Structure 1
Amino acid sequence: MKRTPLIILNGFLGAGKTTLLKNLLTQAHKRRMTVSVIVNDMSELDVDGVLIANTEIVDAASNNFVSISADSISSRSGIQKLDSALKNLLEKRSADFILLETSGSSHPLPLVRYLREHTQVSLKAFLSLVDTVMLNDDYDGGKKLIPVFQEHLNKGTRGVESLLAEQIMFCNKLLLTKNDRLPFYVVTEVARAIHPLNPQVAIMAVPWGNLQLDELLSMPDYDFHRVALLIDELQDAIDAVLPDETDKKYDISWRVIEDDRPFHPQRLWDTCHRFMGAGVYRSKGFFWLPGRDDLALLWNQAAGSINLEFISYWKAGVLTHTDNSLT
């Protein structure tokens, strides 16, 4: 029985997974390839799911899109939801390949262990996306990541560094994102610093999700034997944080803020330039500004980087913008 290729986009919060996913979707659409998509968000507010649905390439009504929100896909309940999503997609639609975007707090081990036994999909690429700017700013060009990770191992503790390092250790292709914001020599130093975590893997610099689909589809299938010992060594520690709120074990919490009021332009400017403090790994959501009340805007913050983007028009603007996508 022919198995459907699966490409997984894994990486910490704000690493650029959705940007890459949209790029790969566009390439597949231009080539008239059929693709199914699963998007995971640990928050109840499924921003990434809305953004992918807005591409109009995939949607739930076409039986080629499933969103798993308010859960980490690597938790036990998340694995069950993933199993259900894959069964649903495979039963209702034949696809050339499947794309899975994990949440930023998802650990690769449970996913790899689950897919090792799957009979209907073949894991083609397990991509780990790493925010080069974040590693450079927060971990001294990446040089502090391994020592802090080793310290957690010695103490039997878990931290964000554990998740970052182990996402790299399980991948079969490592992608450095946001490298366009740094000098080439800095990107090279970051790559050199983290390469010992997975010395057999190829490292690519990928600005703005600029990765060719053929680069992934031509890869050999994921080598489960290569990570068998790694799974044996780590699974007891990882399983201990799986039952429920996996993200809280890494001192990661989330909060949804709902408010119908617009952002004040000057206060928004001040917040972006003066008041974004440390400790906010990721924030993302839709907002509007007075005087531009027909525009659906996206707030997109990762570590010290903030983007404000026009996404589409609100449904209230349907009479004046009948030819545009609506949110």
Structure 2
Amino acid sequence: MCINESQLKGVFILQQVPVIIISGFLGSGKTTLLLKLLKDAQTKELRAAVLMNELGRADVDGSLIQAGSSGLALEKMVDGCICCDKKGEIAQCLLQLLQTQPDVIFIELTGVANPEEIAESLTEPRLRHHVALKRIVTVLDSELTLEYNSIFSADKLLVHTLRRQMETADVILLNKMDLTDRHTTDKLLKVIRERNNKAIPIITSFSSMDTDLLLHDVERRTICGQTRQLG
């Protein structure tokens, strides 16, 4: 259900809600990471909300997220890409999530999305006073990234998307490292340094990481007033 900024007048959020964007290709381990973040947020007694995008008729990942997080505020964009021409829809979904008074919002992107475009959408006039980008996390499939990044790849759009996902990230997970060797690891780290020497690389498997890197300074929001009933 769509709402607009005026419907937030009954909720006075004294601080901007931090937003963490999770990007990466299909099968890289984004949803596994999101599940870990939600679990740890719950342990910290943080109210989390999720905006996620899936391509395909079956909203499989959305069902997994809801099953693993009781009472979670979740907005889904199915059969559509969260991208630059969907900024209006993104804003509507985020305004809807803000009605639930979250402490943190996670956005899981479809594999073909450019996280930079999503980050820019957070600065729209109706959102910029309510949310603030905290981190962009890109999850890489260590088995396939070198192949995707090859200058010989026939899919130039895929190469461009991968590189933008690396270049805009604050944290890069080199996932599935249990399936590769040290030589591949060294090559991947070199690629990351060439594309983004400011990002924090994390070598891991099963999307395992110390989530305090992302959540350590997220606090429960101070909220006054009551949310309005939608409908």
TM-score with structure 1 setting the length:
0.57
Q: SS of the residue aligned with 2:166?
A: helix
Aligned to 2:132: 122
Deviations 1:126-173 (A, max 9, x none): 11111111124x25xx6x3xx458xx9xxxx94210111111111111
Q: Is the 8 A contact 2:23 2:138 kept in 1?
A: yes
What is the rounded CA distance, in whole Å, between the counterparts of 1:216 and 1:56 in structure 2?
19
The 5 A counterparts of 1:40-51 are 40-51=53-64
Aligned to 1:100: 107
- Identity of counterpart residues, as a percentage? 25
Match for 1:65 among 41, 58, 74? 74
What is the rounded CA distance, in whole Å, between the counterparts of 1:97 and 1:82 in structure 2?
16
Q: Is the 8 A contact 2:51 2:108 kept in 1?
A: yes
Unaligned runs of 5+ in 2: 1-13, 219-231
Q: Does 1:131 align with 2:164?
A: no
What is the rounded CA distance, in whole Å, between the counterparts of 1:181 and 1:70 in structure 2?
31
Q: Is the 8 A contact 1:148 1:161 kept in 2?
A: no
Aligned to 1:248: none
CA radius of gyration, larger in: 1
The 5 A counterparts of 1:166-177 are 166-177=164-175
Aligned to 2:117: 110
Deviations 1:299-324 (A, max 9, x none): xxxxxxxxxxxxxxxxxxxxxxxxxx
Match for 1:85 among 73, 82, 93? 93
User: What CA RMSD, in Å, does the superposition of the two structures yield over aligned residues?
Assistant: 2.3
When residues 176 and 104 of structure 1 are mapped into structure 2, their CA distance, relative to the original with a 3 A threshold, is same
Q: Is the 8 A contact 1:24 1:212 kept in 2?
A: no
Q: Does 1:76 align with 2:119?
A: no
What is the rounded CA distance, in whole Å, between the counterparts of 1:125 and 1:57 in structure 2?
25
TM-score with structure 2 setting the length:
0.79
Q: Is the 8 A contact 2:109 2:115 kept in 1?
A: no
What is the rounded CA distance, in whole Å, between the counterparts of 1:109 and 1:32 in structure 2?
30
Deviations 1:87-109 (A, max 9, x none): 01112x22221111111111123
What is the rounded CA distance, in whole Å, between the counterparts of 1:106 and 1:161 in structure 2?
12
Deviations 1:255-285 (A, max 9, x none): xxxxxxxxxxxxxxxxxxxxxxxxxxxxxxx
Q: CA deviation at 1:212?
A: 2.0
Q: Which has the higher contact order (CA 8 A, sep 6+)?
A: 2
Q: Is the 8 A contact 1:9 1:128 kept in 2?
A: yes
Larger helix share, 1 or 2: 1
Q: Does 1:163 align with 2:158?
A: no
Unaligned runs of 5+ in 1: 221-327
What is the rounded CA distance, in whole Å, between the counterparts of 1:42 and 1:105 in structure 2?
10
Aligned to 1:197: 195
